[in-house]
Amino acid sequence: MSMLAGLLEAYVARFKVALGVQFQYRASLIIWLTWTIMESVIYLVVWTTVARSSGGRVGGFDTQDFAAYFLVTMVVNHLTFTWIMHEFEYRIRQGQLSPLLLKPLHPIHGDIAENVTYKGLTAIVLAPSLVPLVLAFRPALHPEPWAVVAFLPALLLAFLLRFLSGWTLALAGFWTTRVFAINEMYFVAMLFLSGQMVPLSLLPAPIQSLAAALPFRWMVSFPVELLLGRVSPEEALAGFAAQAFWLSVSVALAMVIWRAGLKRYSAVGA
């Protein structure tokens, strides 16, 4: 219990520090939040236009269904995304990781606190910005009560899975300073296979199978599909099992690669 209390106290302190840092970059917060909103609105406009030109429906989605899908996706994507893979290589190259290793708390806890703090701040602005979008596009959202309840743990697991996957990918910085290409490959796969750009049910069957076999669908599309009522209870249980499996894989990989990376880091005189 004392260990848990100490960890909670450390998180509270990290939240305060992260909050102060975020307030120093208010312009960046606005820019990133604006892009978050505009990205989903662009996809929404494109697909509603396609639906109207195709007689009102595309693959089981009408214009209101597309509105619901992309507005919920915008929220889920915002609450689950991470940017640590962009920063970790710089942290290693500039030696900023060294003082973090001297602290009793693993560096990942600081990264989680920073991520959650950013989302807490921007959610204050994101929530009211949804109101005009809902009024303009009139999304059709009628989930079953069980799906609403299941959505919250699915969202939490999606965040943990996406964060740990990104954090593990960031550890490539221990071996190379050319992480840009690796990051771009990851983000392209994420864009296509997580359902951010298009509902996965509209993609060809082989790509749907690939998305289901890889972790990307379970990071974004699965909680979205839950809240939209597009999965059965049996499919929801299978989705939770897939999230748990990939989360376990991510934890194991993160631990193994972190230990191997630290050996390499110390070996070059850091």
Least confident window among 6-15, 64-73, 139-148, 253-262? 6-15
Residue type, 188: V
Residue 26 pLDDT > 80 = no
For CA atoms 229, 233, 234, 239, the dihedral sign is: positive
Supply φ then ψ for residue 62, to 5 degrees.
Answer: -100, -175
Domain ranges, ordered by start, for the chain: 2-267
Helices marked H in 107-220: 107-137, 145-170, 180-193, 205-213
Mean pLDDT, the chain, integer: 87
Query: For residues 151 and 59, which has the higher predicted lDDT (pLDDT)?
Result: 151
Which tokens sit at 71? 């507005």
**pTM score:** 0.88
Q: What's the whole-number mean pLDDT along residues 68-82? A: 93
Residue 118 pLDDT > 90 = no
Q: What's the whole-number mean pLDDT along residues 171-197? A: 89
pLDDT in tens, 85-102: 888 888 888 888 888 888
Residue type, 19: L
Give the DSSP H/E element, type plus range, for residue 58: strand 57-58
pLDDT in tens, 163-181: 999 999 999 989 887 788 8
pLDDT in tens, 202-257: 999 999 999 999 999 999 999 999 999 999 999 999 999 999 999 999 999 999 99
How many other CB atoms sit within 10 Å of the CB of residue 192? 17
Residue 109 pLDDT > 90 = no
